[in-house]
A and B are shown apart, each in its own frame.
Chain A
Amino acid sequence: MAEATLKTVPLDKARVLQWLQTYGVYAGVALLLVVNIVITPHFLSAENFRTQAVQVAPVIIVALGMALVIGTEGVDLSVGAVMALAASVTALYLGYGLVPALLVVAVFAAGVGLANGALVAFVGVQPIVATLALMVGGRGLALVLLPQLEDLRNPSLASLGSGDVLGIPYLILIAAVLALLVAFVVRRTTFGRQLLAIGDSRPAAQLAGLPVRRVLIVVYVVCALLAAVAGVLATARLQASDPTSLGNLMELSAITAVVVGGTPLTGGRVNIAGTVAGAVLIQLLTATLIKHDLPPSWTQIAQAIVIVAAVYAARGRGKR
């Protein structure tokens, strides 16, 4: 029935929808930029773009990992908790120096990723349930390790958060490098192909002899590691470890960025450039509303509209 109606849709509408699916998010970003240049004072300055980029960098990094997980037809709700965990572990081990602390953070994040991956790949728990468990447990652990906000004064951590190379903050560089790396992995490596094949159809991938479990575990570990990177960077920027609030609702921001960017929740396709643009779109939207001092509830409504629009544009794709 649904297919029959789809076929009768005029070609023009289908084409517009197709165009929206692919380029809608970029058009949205461009539109917001133009609108802001016209109506927002002091918008067209290097300092402003730097601010927006620095604020969006952690979201982009988390969204990259989320895009990979969603590509396997999963979802990872524990990313915000991993950020909080990264923050508290950083604070706990900073006494040994920045690098050792980061290694311990990596171990913890990998642990969470392994647990997520194992639950999904071996035990066969639905990703949303498995990662929900780690979302609750991870933040709990973060708070057990560090019950309240702690100020950090480590100079190398501070420079990681606010330093720059040739005027480009480390945060932006790191996010850009990671985005390129993830895009390369998805497009050009066997691992990327396997990931997408699993997302398309897990039974088929299994029958084809792909290492389904290994790929799934690696994907969840990578997602957790990326979230940990974002957690450390956010902590470095704040120069304080705040496991109670860091990463709150980050899983939703990341999922929004991925979905708005044109990656279907049904798996089998990952759009990294779109994901980055999706995160930027939400950031610009929030910034616009804040700069014009509109009530915070408007931001939520505006985000909801963007999500609905993205889902509407992606509607046809799901029925493939």
Chain B
Amino acid sequence: MQRTTHRSHLLARPVVVALAAAVALTVTSCAKSEDDASDSKKSPAAAADAEQKVVTPKPGSETCTIDAYGGEKIDLKDATVGFSQSEKEANPFRIAETQSIKDEAAKRGVKLLTANAQSQFSKQISDVQTLLTKGVDLLVIAPLNSDGWDPVLQAAAAKKVPIVTIDRKINATPCKDYVSFIASDFVEQGRRAADQMIEATGGKGEVAILLGSAGNNVTTERTKGFKERVAEKAPDLKVVFEQTGDFTREKGQQVTEQLIQSNPGIKGIYAENDEMGLGAVAALKGAGKKAGDVEIITVDGTRNAVQGVVDGWISGVIESNPRFGPLAFQTLDDFTQGEEVPQDIVIQDSAYDADNAEQDLGKAY
């Protein structure tokens, strides 16, 4: 009965869709956000000295050469490099990571093909396969998951395409399935955050942890390092509260509001990423606290958080450097020329506190 009357409207649908698309396209042209006049966007030059440095590899750590891997020497300049990004570039870390790869490729004059899996693992697999069929000679992958890479690894091995993975590891045999893995040591980041927390609180009192998303290796490792170091160095510092803030500012704010309500005596908050730390700052401001009442330590090193250190609301930020470009390309360059490269390359992350935040603000991403 209803169906018959609907026929006439079917034609209207494409019109509506087209209209919607037109709206979406024109809407940004007349937008005016707050920052249009002044600008907080940093100049790329400022970031130049923020390149990743490698922790000196332990003697005897495993290396890989092109002979062991089985491939042919090529000159990086004539090569095409494929880069597969895992998550959409919606947070400062991913934006800086992709940008760094692109900048380094441009600097070295290497042809770069990029793909973004938008946080879908199946898409990342097909992205990499597409890159392989497009004929890339080398691959840089920021994996979304550690497992499930077999089909890609086989395809790459068949074409003898060397793979370097960054920021997360692939569960496979190094120097056989992939060449090297370049990343920060998240456990170490947790330990260093604990050091800063111990210093800021004097090693006594009660502290809280704002955990990242559950089931994420970054969360588990940053928690592990922090607790280990606190237990070992400052047994009087007690972790009395551990709740997830899902790596977002909003959840960080909400959880901190509950926390300072029920534990008014809390001395410090360790946020496992900057966004949750900034949420905690918003909660403290909302509760009428002053900067420095509660010591906040965060991990990542985004610009907003380092600015928070300058303003006195955040006591310290441990950096997790996303600028993989130079190191990834250097590794590929060395490898393709026949030199030895380490299988595990750990980055030396820096840190920001009240002493260096202002002068190093340009290094933050």
Chain B residues near A238 (CB, 8 Å)? 249-250, 253, 279, 282
Q: A92-B28, A240-B249 are in contact. Are A150 and B33 (CB under 8 A)?
A: yes
B344 interfacial contact with A, CB 8 Å:
no
Q: Contact between B286 and A95 (Cβ–Cβ < 8 Å)?
A: no
Q: Contact between B262 and A122 (Cβ–Cβ < 8 Å)?
A: no
- Give A119-171 interface residues, CB cut-off 8 Å to B: 122-124, 141, 143-145, 147-154, 162
Interface size of B in residues (CB-CB distance below 8 Å): 54
Binary B-proximity of A266-305 (CB < 8 A = 1, otherwise 0): 0000000000000000000001001101001100000000
Total A-B contacts with CB atoms under 8 angstroms apart: 119
Of B49-57, B143-151, B239-247, the one contacting chain A is B239-247
Q: Contact between A123 and B3 (Cβ–Cβ < 8 Å)?
A: no
Q: Contact between A291 and B36 (Cβ–Cβ < 8 Å)?
A: no
Q: Contact between B16 and A94 (Cβ–Cβ < 8 Å)?
A: no
Q: Contact between B34 and A154 (Cβ–Cβ < 8 Å)?
A: yes
Chain A residues near B68 (CB, 8 Å)? none
Of B86-94, B346-354, B356-364, the one contacting chain A is B86-94
- Give A50-67 interface residues, CB cut-off 8 Å to B: 51, 54-55
Interface size of A in residues (CB-CB distance below 8 Å): 52
A91 interfacial contact with B, CB 8 Å:
yes
Q: Contact between B258 and A115 (Cβ–Cβ < 8 Å)?
A: no
Q: Contact between B258 and A51 (Cβ–Cβ < 8 Å)?
A: yes
Q: How far is the CA of A244 from the CA of B250 in the complex (A)?
A: 11
A93 interfacial contact with B, CB 8 Å:
yes
Q: Contact between A145 and B27 (Cβ–Cβ < 8 Å)?
A: yes
Chain A residues near B246 (CB, 8 Å)? 245
Q: How far is the CA of A287 from the CA of B244 in the complex (A)?
A: 13
* Among B10, B20, B243, B287: residue with most chain A CB under 10 A: B243
Q: Contact between A94 and B250 (Cβ–Cβ < 8 Å)?
A: no
B residues adjacent to A (C-beta < 8 A): 1-3, 6, 9-10, 12-13, 16, 20, 23-24, 27-28, 31-36, 88-92, 95, 211, 214, 240-244, 246, 248-251, 253-255, 257-259, 261-262, 264, 275, 278-279, 282, 286-287, 304
Contacts A149-B91, A291-B262 known; list 18 others, CB within 8 Å: A42-B261, A42-B262, A94-B34, A95-B33, A123-B10, A124-B2, A143-B90, A145-B28, A147-B90, A148-B89, A149-B249, A237-B286, A238-B249, A240-B278, A246-B250, A291-B258, A291-B259, A293-B243
